[in-house]
Chain A
Amino acid sequence: MTSVPPLLRLDGIVKSFPGVRALRGVSFDVRPGEVHALLGENGAGKSTLIKVMSGVHRPDEGRVEVDGRPVDFGSPQEAQAAGIAAIYQELLLFPELSVAENVFMGHAPRLSWGGIDWDQTRARTAEILQSLDIHDLDPDTPVGALSVGNRQRVEIAKALSMNARVLIMDEPTAALTEADVERLFGIVRRLRERGVGIIYISHRLVEIFDLADRVTVLRDGEYVGTHEVRDVTEPQLISMMVGRTIDQLYPHRTANPGKVVLEAKSVAYPGTVEEASLTLRAGEIVGLAGLVGSGRSELAQILFGVTPASAGQILVDGQPVTIRSPADAKRLGIAYVPEDRGTQGLIRPMRIRHNVSLAVLKELARFFFIDRGREQELARRDIERFKIRASSMDQVVGKLSGGNQQKVVLAKWLATRPRILILDEPTRGIDVGAKAEIHKIMSELAAQGMAVLMISSELPEVLGMSDRVLVMREGRIVAGFDRAEATQERIAAAMMRSAQQERAA
């Protein structure tokens, strides 16, 4: 036992959102001068937990303590005042403003009459940067002109300017080059020596072994365990993350793949997808696994013409095709249920009836006018088939729950009678019941001969639903497994293996 109380301690934290229990009794603490890694799959509750720590969310149950005293943060400002700062994946900087202005945004040193003391602001920014061994950043440079690595250093300086004693870093290396990662590690170690407690979130196991002192694993919002990093191995951590229970929920189905309907040959899009190739057969569900940023969603968007491929070839039924827009893809019998139903899937102010008919307006029209009878029939059938819970087909979709909204998006696309269905995170953020219903629909569609490509960050879902699993990493498809040979450990290992390890192997 340590004699000093931890800087920050959370005990039995419970946090629910409508339809989801994001955290169910999670405990966590960070001591002065340690790097404590937080590990878990997407949706495990890491983001919610750090938002509780940083005052964005208030927990429903449980205790938060700073220096052994209970606290109740009502806002991020209160958490900052207590010395807790967070650096999120999306850096929250003002590109038009200078480094110094960003570092001291909201708490700049003042002159006696209340004006901002610019000399002090610049001098103290330079001082903080010096202390982090950063000598190549001019406090007067506009942040917009900086590289991602440098922007992140500005964020760290900003946190230190508020005298942060606990620094939360949410996947800080996700967008960094290798040289920048090395520098970041140097800075983190320097902060640790100074007694700062660092909470480090990352998917990359290598980094955790490199940097962290302790590691805590979350799964499905539950606390799995905390270990000293020197006492655990990589396979142990992976199995803690993915769990052992293969879900009984997934519908059983014997795959009966037909002929190849979609083939991508070395398709690419600058910066996200490099030479990805895949084939998709009628009647099979192919799971596409990979970390966020591995290029999964971007590959789907290439296939659907949202961001047309810059190189490579796409074949439908063995014929080369050009897909320059979603309208092209739709004509070829491709449907796409996007990752973010709010911004890409739904017209929120519109009724259910009008949303489900949106992709088939031309088919429903007689001359210029929509055949209302057929539209109503479509909506009624979909509401029944997908068990959409709504007061009527005229209900505005913005009022529906997440699961029902997702069903509306799915219904809209199935109305086009596609032969190829691409689903990006089809069950993210929806309740268990709706999830099972969507899985059932997917199985039925595949049984009827539809080719389904499913992107998912949930490994149990990938394993439970897929006939074949493809793994993407750094814009390429790096592994493929048949159902029989696919295990959570193998997929997770392929997802996370670093480029160095690959070269060494």
Chain B
Amino acid sequence: MAATMALPARASAGSRLRRFLFSQEGILLIAIIVLFVAVGAYNQRFLSANNLSTIFLGNAYIAVAAIGMSMVIVSGNIDVSVGSLIGVLATISGTIAVSGWPLWLAWTLPILAGMAISAVSGWLIAYLRVPSIVVTLGMLSILKGGLISVTAGAWINNLPQGYHLAQLRPLGVPMAVWFMIVLTALAAFWMRYSGFGRSIYAVGGNAEAARLAGIDRARTVFIVFVIHGFFAGIAAVLFATQLSVIQSTVPPNLELTVITASVVGGVSILGGTGTVIGSTLAAILIAAIGSSLVFINVSPYWLRAVQGLLILLTVLADLARRRKRARHR
């Protein structure tokens, strides 16, 4: 027993590459590349700058919303109201813009509103210990019902010049895509290297052990929901400013698409594991699949079924990995 052990403190570069390729993020990246190459070979127009820009511009907000969602799920919770929240916040943004207030308020107030609304859910979940599925299911109905009652489904037209933030193209790349990349990078860094990020994983991985280690479970969950509201707010502003009109309804099944991105991205629905890089890659993959269906002449209505298939595949892969782990113990 006293013999010294040769213990590699960190894995070598080669094994780290191998580990990346077999990680959820690696698999998604490979899947995206394979998809672009294969569909591009079948139909060159799929790879045209125009189409790529449409794919990314139209879906970047989903990736942004999935960042916050991933944090919520890693903490051991869920938010099924995020679609309605984005609908409400987009309408708030458009209403501010057409009412003649400064544009920067139309871009920032929805974010604050998102944080405030999400803080209410977070407070109920963290401090009153109401299960998140119940709280956010209630919030979903309140937001959806409230939105339809107030706007009567009217579209917001005549949006002022310069309002369309998402469509700006610094360096030729749509602003929405910049947001997606920068926010994903910042959030990934924050989750991985900050003390708070670590405590999100700890609370989601084992709330009781985290509490014994002196981590405040309730505070952590509450702050996660506030941050989630922040990302939902940005997602809403990107959503509102990418089209010429705002429909002031909730995009159908948006919450499911966002949750799908998180889960397919490798965030365990049980909490405790997953990364926002994974969820962003998954959002890109889902968007690209949706677009490619058109190019290979498959009805886009199949997208929903393909998303479902992706979830099941991810869960099966996760199960297989867990089984393997269990056998090794």
User: Measuring CB to CB, which residues of chain A are less than 8 angstroms from any residue of chain B?
Assistant: 18, 304, 306, 325-327, 330, 336, 338, 343-350, 354, 357-359, 361-362, 364-365, 368-370, 372, 376, 380, 383-384, 387, 389-394, 396, 398-401, 412, 433, 436-437
Contact = CB atoms under 8 A, between A and B. Distances in A.
Interface of B: 1, 5, 7-11, 193-196, 198-199, 201-202, 205-206, 208-216, 268, 272-273, 325, 328-329
Given A306-B212, A399-B328, A361 B1 contact: no
Given A357-B198, A390-B7, 7 more contacts: A18-B329, A326-B212, A347-B205, A349-B273, A391-B8, A393-B9, A399-B325
Given A358-B210, A372-B193, A387-B1, A396 B11 contact: no
Contact of A349 (B11, B195, B198, B272): B272
Contacts, number: 107
Contacts of A396: 325
A345 to B, nearest CB: 6
Contact of A361 (B11, B198, B208, B212): B198
B212 A338 contact: yes
A349 B216 CA distance: 19
A370 B11 CA distance: 20
Nearest to A379: B9
B7 A412 contact: no
Contacts of A394: 10-11
Given A372-B193, A398-B329, A327 B216 contact: yes
Question: What 3 pairs across the A-B complex have the smallest Cβ distances?
Answer: A347-B205, A327-B214, A361-B195
Given A349-B205, A383-B7, A330 B214 contact: yes
Given A365-B195, A380-B9, A394-B10, A350 B202 contact: yes
A359 B214 CA distance: 6
A380 B1 CA distance: 18
A344 B212 contact: yes
A358 B194 contact: no
Among B7, B214, B329, residue most surrounded by chain A Cβ atoms (within 10 Å) = B214
Contact of B208 (A336, A343, A354): A343
Contacts of A400: 329
Given A18-B329, A347-B272, A433-B1, A368 B195 contact: yes
30 contacts: A304-B212, A326-B211, A327-B214, A330-B214, A343-B208, A344-B209, A345-B212, A347-B202, A347-B206, A347-B209, A347-B272, A348-B272, A349-B201, A349-B273, A350-B205, A354-B198, A358-B215, A361-B215, A362-B195, A369-B195, A370-B194, A370-B195, A372-B193, A376-B9, A392-B7, A392-B9, A392-B10, A393-B9, A398-B325, A401-B329
Nearest to A433: B1
Contacts of A372: 193
Contacts of A326: 211-214
Contacts of A344: 206, 208-209, 212
A291 to B, nearest CB: 24
Contacts of B8: 391-392
A18 to B, nearest CB: 7
Given A347-B201, A347-B202, A348-B206, A359 B213 contact: yes
Nearest to A384: B7
A369 B210 contact: no
Contacts of A399: 325, 328-329
B309 to A, nearest CB: 26
A343 B329 contact: no
A437 B5 CA distance: 15
Among A330, A358, A389, residue most surrounded by chain B Cβ atoms (within 10 Å) = A358
Contacts of B268: 349
A487 to B, nearest CB: 30
Contacts of A387: 1, 5
A400 B325 CA distance: 10
Contacts of A325: 211, 214
A435 to B, nearest CB: 11
A358 B325 CA distance: 23
Contact of B272 (A350, A357, A364, A412): A350
Nearest to A388: B7
Contacts of A304: 212
B159 to A, nearest CB: 38
A280 B216 CA distance: 29
Contact of A346 (B10, B206, B328): B206
Contacts of A384: 7
Contacts of A349: 201, 205, 268, 272-273
Contacts of B209: 343-347, 358
Contact of B196 (A330, A359, A368, A393): A368
B144 to A, nearest CB: 33
A399 B325 CA distance: 6
B163 to A, nearest CB: 34
Given A376-B9, A380-B9, A391-B8, A358 B328 contact: no
A357 B328 CA distance: 25
Contacts of A346: 206, 209
B262 to A, nearest CB: 16
Given A338-B212, A354-B201, A393-B10, A368 B194 contact: yes
A372 B9 CA distance: 13
A99 to B, nearest CB: 30
B193 A369 contact: yes
Contact of A343 (B206, B272, B328): B206
Contacts of A338: 212
Contacts of B272: 347-350
A325 B213 CA distance: 10
A344 to B, nearest CB: 5
Contacts of B208: 343-344
Nearest to B193: A369
Contacts of A433: 1
A417 to B, nearest CB: 14
Contacts of A358: 198, 202, 209-210, 213, 215
Given A361-B198, A370-B195, A336 B212 contact: yes
A260 B265 CA distance: 54
Among A330, A336, A350, A380, residue most surrounded by chain B Cβ atoms (within 10 Å) = A350
Nearest to A338: B212
A398 B273 CA distance: 13
A392 B7 CA distance: 7
B166 to A, nearest CB: 29
B199 A361 contact: yes
Contacts of A343: 206, 208-209
Nearest to A376: B9
Contacts of B325: 396, 398-399
A461 B206 CA distance: 30
B1 A437 contact: yes
A399 B8 CA distance: 17
Nearest to B9: A380
Contacts of A389: 5
A383 B6 CA distance: 11
Contacts of B205: 347-350
B278 to A, nearest CB: 14
A378 B299 CA distance: 56
A391 B12 CA distance: 12
A317 B195 CA distance: 31
A18 B11 CA distance: 27
A359 B211 CA distance: 10
A468 B208 CA distance: 31
